[in-house]
Amino acid sequence: MGFQPDLDTPQGGRYRPIRAGPLAIRFSANRSEIAVRILSASSPPMDESKQSSNRDGRLGPRYDAPEWAWFVGVEGMQEAAQAEGWSIEYRQMTAGTMTASSATADCAGIGLMEERVSSRIEAVGETPDAHITVTLPWGGSRIWLNGKWSTCHGFYVSEPRGSIHCLAEENIRALTMHVPLSLLPTSARPELASKDESSRIQEGWVEAPPASVERLKRLVHETTHRLVPGPWQVEQQSALIGALFASIEESVDARRERDQTSRSERLRVIRSARELIDAHLTEPIRITQLSEHCGASVSKIERTFRRELQISPREYIQARRLAAAQRELKRADPESTTVARVATDHGFGHLGRFAGAYRAQFGELPSETLSSN
């Protein structure tokens, strides 16, 4: 019938049979062999005990592989979703044979899924109970979800039993997290449950800084395919929750800043940051130090610098150090002063990078400034 499994599927996968009308496809792989089994609707499930969990033929897997399933038509997708607690109906919206695949994994209670669907589909229903559900478009795919198209730096948060109306374009790829309410950080639960709209993380699209969202997507993808076995999964679980709420916090910070922060507050942050930078210009300065000193989040400091000064805190600190180095080079005696010493004194540990940054800033090499005295 021409249906082929994805070639970039990780080796070592365990695949379950999911009925898709009259067909279900089960796939099992390790380093030495690939076996495909097509089951009729009446075929018994494959015996899991007969599948090898030893991925490399030596001492067992270093990672637990995800469970994969392939579907032909929407029926199998719908059955699999309902088994995971969804109350949902899928509808194929374009002509032709629809094929789909899903990889699922359980990371210490957090359900992870990566899906690919060949046809344009519509999905209507409700998310699972007692979980928040996070939907992340993956690989440039676009999803229309509850009235809005996805963006490259957004993801959708659904509350337990949240209503879903979704349209997905052809060849969609999406990542999903199901996080039990019991695993949410204590500090986050009031925001998710609060009736105060000003502080509540509302169901809907979360727009966060692109780098933050990309970190979350990569982590979900990598954890789905490279799940650490045993008790060490709690560290992966912690990393997933941390990355999720870091993105949500940055989104909330940005929204609150747009709504509440005045220019005088932004200027206060700049003044406070400059105080710390002036006092420690020749020492390593971490963004977290600025955050603590200014009484503002890291993301707020980044946004404030870019909005008021059109550069990042890191760029500002480097510019200040270069200016201080230039002043010293212009006053120094070429016979007793070296460029390397001036660079080191002003926080530059790599002479070549210092020379390149200096030339880009002032149009000449530091040695030329020194020799002109």
CA distance 26 to 70: 7
229 and 297 in a single domain? The answer is: no
Sheet containing 163-168: give its strands across.
87-92, 121-126, 163-168, 143-145, 148-149
pLDDT of residue 257: 63
pLDDT of residue 210: 86
- The whole-model pTM stands at 0.55
272 and 331 in a single domain? The answer is: no
Q: Where are the alpha helices (DSSP H) in 196-232?
A: 210-225
Look up tokens 């130090």; give the residue: 289
232 and 280 in a single domain? The answer is: no
Transcribe 119-149 into DSSP letters.
S-EEEEEEPPTTEEEEEEE-TT--EEETTEE
The answer to whether the Cα torsion of 85, 89, 93, 97 is positive or negative is positive
Residue 3 lies in a domain: no
Tokens read off for 18: 């999911």
pLDDT of residue 48: 35
Give per-residue pLDDT as tens, 87-133.
999 999 999 999 999 999 999 999 999 999 999 999 999 999 889 99
Rg value, the chain, Cα:
27
CA distance 217 to 187: 23
pLDDT of residue 10: 41
148 and 280 in a single domain? The answer is: no
Give the domain CATH number at 335.
1.10.10.60
Residue 8 lies in a domain: no
323 and 240 in a single domain? The answer is: no
Q: 102 — alpha (psi -120 to 50), left (phi > 0) or beta?
A: beta
Residues 6+ apart with CB under 8 A from 27: 5, 9, 13, 15, 34, 35, 36, 37, 68, 70
CA distance 223 to 239: 10
pLDDT of residue 237: 92
Residue 204 lies in a domain: yes
Residue 237 lies in a domain: yes
Cα 289 to chain centroid, rounded: 25
157 and 88 in a single domain? The answer is: yes
Cα 84 to chain centroid, rounded: 23
Containing structural domain, residue 277: 261-310
Residue 2 lies in a domain: no
pLDDT of residue 261: 56
Residue 6 lies in a domain: no
106 and 71 in a single domain? The answer is: yes
- What CA–CA distances, in Å, run from 326 to 318, 333, 342? 12, 13, 9
CB 54, CB 61: distance < 8 Å: yes
CB 181, CB 148: distance < 8 Å: no
Transcribe 266-332 into DSSP letters.
HHHHHHHHHHHHHHTTTS---HHHHHHHHTS-HHHHHHHHHHHHSS-HHHHHHHHHHHHHHHHHHHS
CA distance 87 to 84: 9
Give the domain CATH number at 40.
2.60.120.10
Tokens read off for 130: 């007692």
Tokens read off for 175: 């990542």
360 and 237 in a single domain? The answer is: no
Total domains in the fold of the chain? 3
CA distance 123 to 162: 13
Which among 269, 288, 310 is the end of a domain?
A: 310
Residue 32 lies in a domain: yes
Which among 270, 286, 310 is the end of a domain?
A: 310
CB 18, CB 69: distance < 8 Å: yes
215 and 91 in a single domain? The answer is: yes
342 and 361 in a single domain? The answer is: yes
243 and 269 in a single domain? The answer is: no
Residues 6+ apart with CB under 8 A from 96: 119
239 and 320 in a single domain? The answer is: no
pLDDT of residue 22: 32
Residue 7 lies in a domain: no
pLDDT of residue 254: 66
What totals of helices (H) and strands (E) does the chain contain, helices first? 11, 15
Which residues of the chain, if any, have pLDDT below 70?
1-63, 185-202, 253-261
Give per-residue pLDDT as tens, 2-23.
333 343 444 444 434 333 333 3
Sequence-ordered strand ranges (E) for 45-86: 67-72
